[in-house]
Structure 1
Amino acid sequence: MVKLLIDLITEGTIDLEVSAENWEAAVRKGGELLVSSGAAENRYIKAMIEMVRQLGPYIVISKGIAFPHARPEDGVLKNGVSLITLKEAVDFGDEDNDPIKLVISFCSTDSEGHLTALSELVDFLRDEDAVNNVMNAKSKSEVVEIMKRVVAAG
């Protein structure tokens, strides 16, 4: 089984202290990393935003954390994960878990990859120290090391 998070979160798919004026800009910035890494087409970004407009802030999965994604047919080229921390947290419309500081964007070519990544993400979210360390990381390499430790321990 592919360890999606550990294999796909690289320094090239991480951005720290990103400025975003609202949730759409935050989703767009995470999506741009998926596009630049070759994992998705530009239209995937629009699809992620449209999913939230249609379904509400279902992508907010925990306090301070959003997990934007869309369907494979919306422009996925290969499995991909990006991670951004926001300079200033933004509201996504989830009163229990706003404001959001960490955005982990995701694309998968099929539902199996989706489930694997979600499973690993759950392991990460259970480790509050790791989540806080990622949110406060000062370097991309620090984020990669934290994620590797959590996935290896899971």
Structure 2
Amino acid sequence: MSLYDLVGSDGVVITSERDLSVDSALGLTCSVLLSRGDVEPSYLEAIKEKHKDIGAYYVLAPKIAMPHARPEDGVNRAALQVTVFKNGVDLESSDNGEVYLAITLAAMDSDSHIHTIMALSNLFQNDDDIDRIIAANNESEIIEILQAY
């Protein structure tokens, strides 16, 4: 199973919006998951609440974020959403700066998504593919990259 299998043909959002608030950006990173019914609104609220409590725990590295909450916070099915912020977004991570790529993870439990985490880890370590995703002009270019993982 590739990352694409969890993203699907409609799981990519590319935005050129500027000056998004943290809440607006997080809402965007969950928008497809919510519209498809992969997660409940409580899942997005859990991400926002945890951010308020401990900060941008989901910003993993420069340019890259992986918003997520616990399965019991409202995951209906395992899924991923890819969001590209063409102009970057400040998610208040003092260590890593602006985020250009967010991959929102919705996992059913703590164990079954281990292969997904391994595939994401491989992607996140490939600077060329990260840069290609950020530079992509359309969803199909991003999907083609994801199919390799």
Give TM-score, length-normalised by structure 2: 0.91
More helix by share: 1
The alpha carbon displacement at 1:96 in A equals 2.4
Give TM-score, length-normalised by structure 1: 0.89
The alpha carbon displacement at 1:22 in A equals 2.0
Aligned to 1:90: 89
RMSD: 1.5
Identity within the alignment, %: 28
Query: Partners in 1 of 2:108 and 2:47 — Cα distance?
Result: 15
Residue 10 of structure 2 aligns to a residue whose secondary structure is helix
Aligned to 1:73: 72
Tell whether 2:56 aligns with 1:57: yes
Query: Partners in 2 of 1:4 and 1:148 — Cα distance?
Result: 6
Deviations 1:115-141 (A, max 9, x none): 322211110011111000001111111
Query: Partners in 2 of 1:63 and 1:70 — Cα distance?
Result: 21
Aligned to 1:19: 17
The alpha carbon displacement at 1:5 in A equals 1.8
Counterpart code for 2:136:
A
The alpha carbon displacement at 1:88 in A equals 2.1
Deviations 1:53-81 (A, max 9, x none): 11211100111111101111111100010
Residue 118 of structure 2 aligns to a residue whose secondary structure is helix
Structure 1 unaligned segments of length 5 or more: list them: none
Counterpart code for 1:62:
A
1:114-133 alignment, distance < 5 Å: 114-133=113-132
Residue 111 of structure 2 aligns to a residue whose secondary structure is helix
Paired residues, what number? 148
Counterpart code for 1:11:
S
